[in-house]
Amino acid sequence: MTVATLEVPPASPRVTGIRSVTVIGSGVIGTSVALAVRRSGAEVALIDADADAVAEAERMGAGVRFTPDTPPADVVVIATPPSSVARVLREAQERGLGAVYTDVASTKGVIVAEAARAGCDLTTYVPGHPMAGRELSGPAAARADMFAGRPWVLCPGPGTPWEAVRPVVELAEACRATVRLLPSRRHDRIVAAVSHTPHLVSAALAARFAEAEETVLSLAGKGLRDTTRIAAGLPELWCDILEQNAEPVAVVLDEVVRDLTAAAAALRSGGTDVLKDLLVRGNRGRHRVVDAFPAAESAF
C-alpha cells in the first residue's frame, strides 16, 4: 500500500480529546512534549531511569512522577534514544501503560522492524517524529513551544486502525505541530537528506578545528559558526541516530563526497566549469530551502 503524503488539517474546533499522557524519557524532547501537553490541560505522568531528570521536569511543571497507581494513559510517548525504543515499547505494552503508543525518535524504519521482531503490538503503536529540536540536551533545555508550527511526522503501518492514530494526531496538535503522514521508509530517506547527512557534514567541517591554533579560531566568522552549529549535538545520541538510518544516510553522503572530490580535482586542474556548476546548484538548492521556510526567522 502506498500512503500518500497527507497534511492532516487541525480538528475544528481545536479541542483535544486527550486527558492523560505518560512520557517515558525526561530529556529535552520528552520534557518539551510534556510541557506542551500540560498547557493543553491534560495530565502527564513522567518516567525516567534518572530520578534527577524526572525531578527537574517536575519542577518545570511538566507533570508528576509516574507511580504504580498512575492509571493507563490515553497516549504513551516513548522519548528514549532510538536504539532503546523497541525494547521500551515492548515493556510498556506488557505493563499496559496506555491505550496507544508513539515515539519521537528521528528514525523510523529500523525501529518499526525491531518492534515487530520484539513482538510488540503494532496495532496500538503509531511511530512518530516531531521535527524540531535543539542542540542542547536534558530537561532544562525543554520548551513548551518547541513544536509550534513544526512538522510532526507519523508513520502508521498499514494495519494500524484510525482509532489508534487519532489520539496521536491530537497529541501532536496539542503541541501545536502540523501532522504529516508518511511511510516510514520515505520518512527515513527524507531525514537522511535534511537532517542526518547535514549533521555528519557539519561534524566533518567542525572537526578541522578540534586542534586548531588560536590565531585560526580568532579569524573565524559567522559562516563557520552557522555551518558547524549542529555539530554540537551529543555524539552518543547522534551515533545512535545515524546507525539507525545507516543506508539512507550513506547514500546521500556518497553524493556529497562525489561533489567535493570533483571540486578538489577541479581546483587543482583549473576546472572552472565543475566548480561553477557545484556553486550554481548549491545556490539553487539554498534558495529552495529558504523558500520552504516562509516564517523561518520567527520559528526559533
Q: CB of residue 172 vs its own copies: minimum separation in angstroms?
A: 14
**Nearer residue to its own copies within complex by CB, 148 or 193:** 193
Report d(CA 156, CA 238) in Å as an integer.
24
Nearest to 240 by CA among 82, 107, 134: 82
**Nearer residue to its own copies within complex by CB, 38 or 199:** 199
Q: CB of residue 187 vs its own copies: minimum separation in angstroms?
A: 8
**Nearer residue to its own copies within complex by CB, 55 or 256:** 256
Q: CB of residue 287 vs its own copies: minimum separation in angstroms?
A: 7
**Nearer residue to its own copies within complex by CB, 159 or 288:** 288
Q: Residue 77: beta bridge partners?
A: 23, 102
For residue 178, the number of C-alpha atoms closer than 13 Å in the C-beta half-sphere is 7
Q: CB of residue 166 vs its own copies: minimum separation in angstroms?
A: 22
Q: CB of residue 262 vs its own copies: minimum separation in angstroms?
A: 9
**Nearer residue to its own copies within complex by CB, 165 or 200:** 200
Contacts with 80 (C-beta within 8 Å, 6 or more apart), sequence order: 24, 25, 27, 30, 88, 103
Helices (H), the chain: 28-39, 51-59, 85-94, 109-117, 162-174, 184-191, 197-206, 214-218, 222-227, 235-244, 246-269, 272-291, 296-299
Q: Is the peptide bond between 13 and the residue preceding it cis, with omega within 30 degrees of 0?
A: yes
